[in-house]
């Protein structure tokens, strides 16, 4: 007997999810409870086990494709045994089209991607964001070290402005400060969209260590040995310069209160010694939650960042 396994109700008002990985191929034999697919919602990554033992005869979706609730995921040719995950009541007929029940979803992982990150972006717009702009001088700094140096400078500045390294709690109108600096690094990955892993205390890392961690996270994503699903960014960097951007108004991802967009290098005229001189600088755009961070604090933070070494 062949059954169609469908995407069940995801709860929390979610009506679609993005397929990020198949763990089986067509004609693979699986046992009940074996992992079949990983999908990503606006809230988390969830893993789907097979509710039956049998042979996978068809996979309906491609990696990166959006799947709506009720759409078929895969077909399975059943063995003769009856699944304990889908054991019917006495006298109840088994529907040929089976939904994976919500209670079988396991291993939730904090992550954001496009387009499933849209809900988080909407939540960010529901804050009271303000964005200020400046230039960060980077004379005599090799281009391959810029992200590393900015991470260092931002982390050191956050130590001096601890309110920016925490989470805003609207119900109590207070900021929960964090002891460590959990720096979110927004990066674009092949067909899986935006990925925001966390690097803890980047100012304590050497350049080689930082580069190795970043490369491994970008290559292996949630499978990276450096990925920690339990960490939420206390502050985020978005390198829009890598795609040619200069300025932006980066959107906060609650509950964090700050995010910095880094633009591409430019040459700016600077008045020194009664003459204009060229200076290599990076446009920076700093968005913060104005409910708990004042404009004065935001400007002071950027000024400190510019002078940090």
Known catalytic residues? Answer: 290
Tokens at residue 8, please? 């069940």
Main-chain dihedrals φ then ψ at residue 185, nearest 5 degrees: -115, 105
Gap between the Cα atoms of 260 and 252, Å rounded: 9
Tokens at residue 48, please? 């789907």
Gap between the Cα atoms of 110 and 220, Å rounded: 16
* Burial bucket for residue 203 (CB in 10 Å: 0-12, 13-18, 19+): middle
- DSSP letter (8 states) at residue 100: P
List of residues 6+ apart from 26 with CB closer than 8 A: 56, 57, 58, 59
- How many angstroms separate the Cα of 199 from the Cα of each of 74, 112, 131, 214, 304? 36, 16, 24, 8, 22
Cis preceding linkage at 100, omega within 30:
no
Determine how many CB atoms are found less than 10 A away from the CB of residue 130: 16
Gap between the Cα atoms of 250 and 236, Å rounded: 10
Tell me the torsion sign for CA atoms 112, 116, 117, 119.
negative
């Amino acid at each position: 007997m062949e059954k169609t396994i469908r995407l069940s109700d995801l709860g929390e008002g979610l009506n679609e999810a993005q397929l990020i990985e198949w763990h089986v191929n067509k004609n693979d034999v699986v046992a009940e409870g074996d992992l079949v697919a990983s999908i990503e919602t606006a809230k988390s990554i969830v893993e789907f086990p097979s509710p039956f033992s049998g042979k996978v005869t068809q996979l309906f979706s491609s990696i990166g494709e959006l799947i709506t609730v009720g759409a078929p995921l895969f077909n399975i040719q059943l063995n003769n045994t009856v699944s304990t995950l889908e054991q019917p009541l006495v006298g109840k007929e088994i529907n040929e089209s089976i939904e994976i029940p919500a209670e079988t979803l396991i291993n939730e992982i904090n992550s954001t991607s496009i387009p499933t990150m849209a809900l988080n972006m909407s939540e960010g717009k529901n804050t009271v964001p303000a964005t200020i702009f400046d230039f960060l001088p980077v004379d005599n700094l090799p281009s391959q070290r810029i992200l590393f140096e900015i991470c260092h400078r931002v982390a050191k500045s956050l130590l001096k402005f601890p309110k920016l390294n925490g989470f805003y709690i609207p119900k109590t109108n207070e900021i929960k400060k964090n002891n460590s600096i959990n720096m979110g690094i927004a990066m674009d990955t092949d067909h899986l969209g935006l990925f925001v892993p966390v690097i803890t205390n980047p100012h304590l890392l050497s350049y080689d260590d930082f580069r190795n961690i970043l490369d491994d996270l970008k290559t292996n994503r949630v499978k990276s040995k450096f990925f920690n699903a339990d960490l939420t960014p206390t502050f985020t960097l978005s390198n829009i310069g890598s795609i040619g951007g200069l300025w932006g108004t980066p959107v906060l991802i609650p509950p964090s209160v700050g995010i910095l967009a880094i633009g591409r290098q430019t040459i700016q005229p600077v008045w020194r010694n009664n003459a204009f001189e060229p200076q290599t600088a990076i446009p920076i755009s700093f968005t913060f939650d104005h409910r708990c961070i004042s404009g004065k604090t935001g400007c002071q933070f950027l000024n400190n960042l510019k002078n940090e070494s």
